[in-house]
């Protein structure tokens, strides 16, 4: 009987990722399913343990993820507002569960094809959702006319996002409408679109010869995602998006054995970017941020978080909290009440988070948690780069592009994370980052399967 049950379990373990992904997707709509989602994830691990004798394959990130999970659970014990912390801890644990479910499930090119389609679908859903849930800001980029956002203007404009929003709102079932009532800051949506875009684009970019017949539908998906990213006017996300494109271009040149050209591109981007930043903001050691506030906004006592000097004050509060709570952090999600209690803002209105990804993790989980998170990130980047190199050597065109997209996504994550922290744990789509991290480990495992060469593959690098 036990043998039969194990045989049955071996045939069912492939469904654990589908089940976990389904409840994880539902958790983006409502936080009430977190207990169910974590229960499904634990059941999947138990089923795999019963069938194979181990709950999961081993990954290079096991120890760092364990440390990160331990610090997150510990933050529940020290949190002064456990109701807030509990939600973020469960979201983080669900992301980790999705990570392991994906690593165990994605073992073939067919699975990665499904995964790529799922990431595309996530990008499309976020793009459509942005039209009905985002609170638009139309003054950041002057070259985008305000009538795009349905605001009055002297000149008619062909694109109006409110038309799309009205169309979608009219077709939302009444049972679903309450789940979409919460408004979303455009920076939140932009951050995830900037991270997802390179993962969607790279397989096509690296494999035009093999996937030319999919070019039009692929571009039909990428175009609205890119347009919505632009319409958010999130400067941090657009910088992250630009960084991702530069990384993709450099990896493409490397795959084509054009390393010198890649170095020239990098040098050009660094010099132009540095000059542009100094032109816009001035040299950091020459313009104190308080003086910059008064010169840019002379008649405003309280500035918004969209101004760089204000961000500096927000970051300053985060650094102070990390200094005061270096071991434990203040508890996940408690940046705002901690700042209000210990270091109230002088010129900035109340903020929910630290507007910097690294600082936010440090505030939430202390230096040990921050080190665990950074170590996990570095493992993911290393796995994606290793997979990229192995895919080139194995002439695996799909894995080459997919791994390159994952590397570029981490570049977008880090650059956007300089100015925002919405990809951490305080917003509903945060589990998507763990999907990409799991995909990086999974694609590395795929390359170790040594797929057979393909005639349309990119040329392998020759040994020097």
Could you report how far apart the first and last alpha carbons of the chain are, in Å? 58
pLDDT, position 130: 78
293 CB-near residues (< 8 Å, 6+ apart): 303, 307, 309, 310, 347
pLDDT, position 73: 96
pLDDT, position 449: 79
pLDDT over threshold 80, residue 291? no
User: What mean pLDDT is predicted for residues 48-73?
Assistant: 92
pLDDT, position 135: 64
Q: How far is CA 43 from CA 40, 47, 101, 103, in A?
A: 5, 6, 11, 16
User: What mean pLDDT is predicted for residues 211-220?
Assistant: 78
pLDDT, position 463: 34
pLDDT, position 437: 97
Residue 366 tokens read as 């202390």
Higher pLDDT residue, 259 or 82? 82
Angle at 272 (CA atoms; ends 267, 278), nearest 5 degrees = 130
pLDDT, position 156: 43
pLDDT, position 51: 83
User: What mean pLDDT is predicted for residues 443-457?
Assistant: 68
Q: How far is CA 256 from CA 94, 392, 397, in A?
A: 39, 9, 12
Q: How confident is the model at residue 145 (pLDDT cuts 50, 70, 90)?
A: low
The 8-class DSSP code of residue 348 comes to B
pLDDT over threshold 90, residue 8? no
**How does pLDDT run across 353-387, given as a tens digit for each residue?**
899 999 999 999 999 999 999 999 999 999 999 99
Beta-sheet strands, E only, within 116-240: none
Q: Name the strand (E) or helix (H) holding 217.
A: helix 215-231
What mean pLDDT is reported for the chain?
A: 80
303 three-class SS? strand
Q: How confident is the model at residue 176 (pLDDT cuts 50, 70, 90)?
A: very low
Higher pLDDT residue, 240 or 282? 240
Higher pLDDT residue, 264 or 27? 27
User: What mean pLDDT is predicted for residues 305-317?
Assistant: 77
pLDDT, position 464: 33
Angle at 194 (CA atoms; ends 259, 106), nearest 5 degrees = 80
**How does pLDDT run across 230-270, given as a tens digit for each residue?**
888 888 899 999 999 999 998 988 888 766 565 666 666 56
Q: How confident is the model at residue 146 (pLDDT cuts 50, 70, 90)?
A: low
In this structure, what are the phi and psi dihedrals at residue 184, rounded to the nearest 5 degrees?
-125, 135
Higher pLDDT residue, 212 or 190? 190
In this structure, what are the phi and psi dihedrals at residue 17, rounded to the nearest 5 degrees?
-65, -40
Distance, in Å, from the CA atom of 62 to the CA atom of 54, rounded to the nearest integer, reads 14
Q: Which of 28-37, 161-170, 309-318, 402-411 has the highest mean pLDDT?
A: 402-411
Please state the separation of Cα 449 from the chain's center in Å.
28
User: What mean pLDDT is predicted for residues 140-151?
Assistant: 55
Which residue's entry shows tokens 């038309």? 163
pLDDT, position 157: 42
Beta bridge partners of 303: 348
pLDDT over threshold 80, residue 141? no
Distance, in Å, from the CA atom of 123 to the CA atom of 197, rounded to the nearest integer, reads 8
Residue 216 tokens read as 């039009």
Higher pLDDT residue, 56 or 409? 409
pLDDT, position 183: 57
Beta bridge partners of 348: 303
Q: How confident is the model at residue 10 (pLDDT cuts 50, 70, 90)?
A: confident
**How does pLDDT run across 84-105, given as a tens digit for each residue?**
999 999 999 999 999 999 999 9
Q: Give the pTM.
A: 0.82
pLDDT, position 179: 47
pLDDT, position 16: 83
pLDDT, position 136: 60
> Does residue 149 contact residue 138 with C-beta atoms inside 8 Å?
yes
Q: How far is CA 142 from CA 147, 228, 441, in A?
A: 12, 16, 41
In the chain, % of residues over pLDDT 70: 73
Return the axis-axis angle of helices 431-447 and 186-205, rounded to nearest 10°: 20
pLDDT, position 182: 53
Distance, in Å, from the CA atom of 417 to the CA atom of 311, rounded to the nearest integer, reads 12
387-400 burial code (b ≥16 CB/10 A, e <16): bbbbbbebbbbbbb
Higher pLDDT residue, 442 or 15? 442
Q: Name the strand (E) or helix (H) holding 7.
A: helix 2-12
> Does residue 229 contact residue 197 with C-beta atoms inside 8 Å?
yes
Residue 388 tokens read as 């990229």
Q: How far is CA 135 from CA 106, 142, 162, in A?
A: 37, 18, 11
Which residue's entry shows tokens 């003086």? 291
Which residue's entry shows tokens 């609170």? 135
pLDDT, position 446: 93
325 CB-near residues (< 8 Å, 6+ apart): 363, 366
Please state the separation of Cα 333 from the chain's center in Å.
18
Q: How confident is the model at residue 338 (pLDDT cuts 50, 70, 90)?
A: very high
């Amino acid at each position: 009987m036990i043998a039969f049950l194990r045989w049955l379990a071996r045939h069912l373990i492939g469904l654990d990722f589908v089940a976990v992904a389904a409840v994880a997707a539902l958790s983006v709509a409502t936080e009430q399913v977190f207990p169910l989602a974590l229960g499904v994830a634990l059941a999947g691990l138990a089923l795999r343990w019963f069938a194979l004798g181990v709950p999961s394959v081993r990954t290079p990130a096991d120890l760092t993820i364990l440390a990160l999970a331990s610090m997150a659970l510990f933050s529940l014990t020290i949190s002064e507002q456990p109701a807030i912390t509990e939600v973020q801890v469960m979201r983080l644990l669900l992301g980790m569960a999705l990570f392991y479910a994906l690593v165990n499930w994605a073992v073939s090119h067919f699975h990665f094809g499904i995964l790529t389609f799922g990431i595309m679908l996530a990008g499309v859903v976020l793009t459509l959702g942005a039209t009905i849930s985002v609170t638009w800001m139309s003054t950041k980029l002057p070259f985008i006319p305000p009538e795009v956002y349905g605001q009055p203007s002297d000149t008619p404009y062909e694109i109006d996002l409110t038309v799309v929003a009205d169309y979608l709102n009219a077709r939302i079932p009444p049972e679903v409408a309450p789940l979409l009532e919460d408004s979303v800051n455009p920076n939140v949506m932009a951050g995830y679109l900037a991270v997802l875009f390179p993962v969607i684009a790279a397989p096509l970019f690296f494999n035009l010869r093999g996937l030319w017949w999919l070019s039009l539908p692929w571009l039909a998906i990428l175009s609205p995602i890119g347009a919505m990213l632009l319409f958010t006017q999130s400067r941090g996300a657009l910088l992250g998006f630009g960084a991702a494109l530069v990384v993709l271009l450099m990896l493409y040149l490397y795959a084509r054995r054009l390393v010198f050209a890649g170095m020239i591109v990098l040098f050009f981007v660094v010099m132009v970017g540095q000059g542009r930043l100094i032109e816009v903001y001035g040299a950091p050691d020459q313009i104190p941020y308080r003086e910059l506030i008064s010169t840019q906004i002379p008649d405003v006592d309280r500035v918004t978080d969209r101004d760089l000097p204000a961000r500096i004050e927000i970051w300053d509060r985060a650094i102070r909290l990390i200094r005061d709570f270096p071991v434990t952090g203040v508890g996940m999600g408690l940046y705002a009440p901690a700042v209000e209690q210990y270091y109230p803002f002088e010129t900035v209105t109340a903020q929910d988070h630290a507007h910097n990804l690294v600082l936010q993790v440090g505030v939430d989980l202390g230096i040990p948690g921050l080190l665990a998170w950074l170590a996990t990130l570095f493992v993911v980047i290393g796995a994606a780069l290793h997979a990229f190199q192995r895919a080139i050597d194995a002439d695996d065109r799909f894995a080459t592009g997919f791994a390159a997209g994952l590397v570029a996504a981490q570049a977008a994550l880090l650059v956007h994370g300089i100015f925002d922290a919405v990809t951490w744990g305080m917003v509903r789509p945060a589990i998507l980052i763990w999907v990409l991290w799991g995909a990086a480990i999974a694609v590395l495992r795929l390359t170790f399967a040594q797929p057979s060469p393909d005639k349309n593959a990119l040329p392998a690098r020759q040994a020097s």
